[in-house]
Structure 1
């Protein structure tokens, strides 16, 4: 039996047609003029689905600056008769071409407009667009073993996404946990390995830290290399706090571990406490099992405590092979909310 080609694995992938719905005035794809409308939908949904944090407008705006996203084809918006945006959905093909092609679907529906089939129509459109993106991408990749997948993430508190996605062939594969540390207790002081120096993050090391990040996450579930374009958006954004972030350098000055933290004061009211969010924690593969992770995290926690912030927050893959969940518990973090990832593989 002949092995299927990549195109055959995906199957028919026609361009999606705009949905119609009796409760909406119309649907169209997005432009940069829709940033505020999309953020308003997302913020309204966030307040219900995960009320401890709200997606910053900057995150939405940054997505319109990335060269590999064409919102005129990739993002759909639904409008109410009065002109208000009530839902949106995007399908974004990751730019990595290292053996995996991944499209991530994201979107939201205003809570008052849910349970009417609008979210179903939006997600189905994005799923069709995702299949089209994969079909277009496989035509340009070199021969070889390729993983092809579509993903969507959802909060455990918002089960409607699972109900809509599963009939499309998507299955829950992974769970993630939000963990919070009360900074009223003193951070631990683990030993710093010999030959290692801990320093704050600095912009001149941006690409060195990117290289360390990509090496550290290469064997993590679902992780793909971060591009320089996306990385500079993150480290150059207004929320990253270099003074609260820490790097571990070896004797040659190479970045071998990282703990990057950010602060978004708009989230303080929703969580009910001032806090820093730890975005990334990683140790390069040839320096693991040396105690670098607890050392670099503890150094960042000390900086957060000196800043006078009440809590530290992070998210972790519950099946992380490095045992991160247990490590964070030892450092004083307590599990709170959970989210999940659904995946369709071709």
Structure 2
């Protein structure tokens, strides 16, 4: 759930955004003139960030891996109360502490020693041309409306500014919060602190009981199962395909392998062009299996984590062939639906493609940012 919403509850950011070809609206830049002003000046980071304000009778201290059990219990209580259409697994909570990010976290404990609130700020090491501080957190349902959420958010914004400067890099930067539809209290809270909506995402599903079309490809193109020996070639293809995608940053071999707790190799595919002596990756589709979400969703689904087609092969039905192959794999595993999340401003025609394949909208979310 990296990048999830702050308070009063937790809400997942798009796990990944499916984009045919990896091209969306150009962007990802900060305010005009930022390129000429050092980040240390733009960020206005405080020299010292104290713990959140002492509210609601909570004692605050840094969260660490030793607190994973209490954090897992707290996230479970929050999601049981808010009933979002997903659930965060214990394995995903462990990923909060992964080495692919610089991270900072605070927890608030009550007098009995129970964790009642938490906040994370995470900055990915691999970000280069755009630096991002992702905020996530939540407050126990029994401890809401006492000021804990505001205290956590104020700490996150201050710490986010500080951590962006600590990267030592000079680039546009932003502090990011993702918000699910219907989270009006959270929206008011972050807007009062200068966050503005920057991007909107649509969750979609496709009924797998409907016929799945056959998609013929050019003679030298073929869709093959994902395999470990293709993985780094897919990573390099992904960096090329998403090089001009809004806000996208390149993956290192290390960052590419992280966050794969629920990766489904058997549901993932690569489109290869064998027109030359050396096969080239023309496109790819990677899937996730989030069984913990299915009771909350009310159906089973194979989830398309990410799909990309390189520029040279766009317009040749590669994306459609990858998606229909994944649909068949989901269906053959007994799934009821295929699911994905798409950036609604995607300029590649992704939303139209998905609708043509039978996908329907289920919910929406938004990315709010403070641009630095």
Asked if the contact 2:45/2:158 (under 8 Å) is kept, the reply is no
Asked if the contact 1:15/1:128 (under 8 Å) is kept, the reply is no
The alignment status of 1:119 with 2:149, answered yes or no, reads: yes
Asked if the contact 2:302/2:339 (under 8 Å) is kept, the reply is yes
How far off is 1:167 after superposition? 2.6
The alignment status of 1:333 with 2:335, answered yes or no, reads: no
- Structure-1 separation of matches of 2:169 and 2:363: 39
- Structure-1 separation of matches of 2:345 and 2:322: 21
How far off is 1:27 after superposition? 1.0
Q: TM-score, normalised by structure 1?
A: 0.90
- Structure-1 separation of matches of 2:218 and 2:114: 56
The alignment status of 1:141 with 2:166, answered yes or no, reads: no
How far off is 1:285 after superposition? 2.6
Task: Say what the alpha-carbon RMSD is for the aligned residues.
Answer: 2.1
- Structure-1 separation of matches of 2:331 and 2:348: 26
How far off is 1:174 after superposition? 0.9
Aligned partner (choices 245, 248, 273) of residue 250 of structure 1: 273
Q: Tell me what 1:41 maps to.
A: 74
Asked if the contact 1:49/1:155 (under 8 Å) is kept, the reply is no
Q: Tell me what 1:98 maps to.
A: 128
CA spacing shift, 1:329–1:48, aligned 2, 3 Å = farther
Report the secondary structure of 1:151's partner residue.
Answer: strand
Please state which structure has a larger fraction of its residues in helix: 1
How far off is 1:214 after superposition? 1.9
- Structure-1 separation of matches of 2:84 and 2:96: 23
Q: Tell me what 1:152 maps to.
A: 177
Q: Tell me what 2:8 maps to.
A: none
Report the secondary structure of 1:335's partner residue.
Answer: strand
Name which structure has the greater RCO, CA cutoff 8 Å, separation 6+.
Answer: 2
How far off is 1:67 after superposition? 4.9
Aligned partner (choices 13, 26, 43) of residue 10 of structure 1: 43
Aligned length: 336
How far off is 1:64 after superposition? 1.8
CA spacing shift, 1:6–1:328, aligned 2, 3 Å = same
The alignment status of 1:279 with 2:305, answered yes or no, reads: yes
CA deviations over 1:112-164 (Å, ceiling 9, x no partner): 32222211111110110000012222xx336xxx2121111111121222222
Tell me, which stretches of 5 or more residues in structure 1 are unaligned? none
Tell me, which stretches of 5 or more residues in structure 2 are unaligned? 1-32
CA spacing shift, 1:332–1:24, aligned 2, 3 Å = farther
CA deviations over 1:310-338 (Å, ceiling 9, x no partner): 11111111111112111111111110111
Report the secondary structure of 2:258's partner residue.
Answer: helix
CA deviations over 1:160-219 (Å, ceiling 9, x no partner): 222222232211111111111111112222222332110111122221111122222222
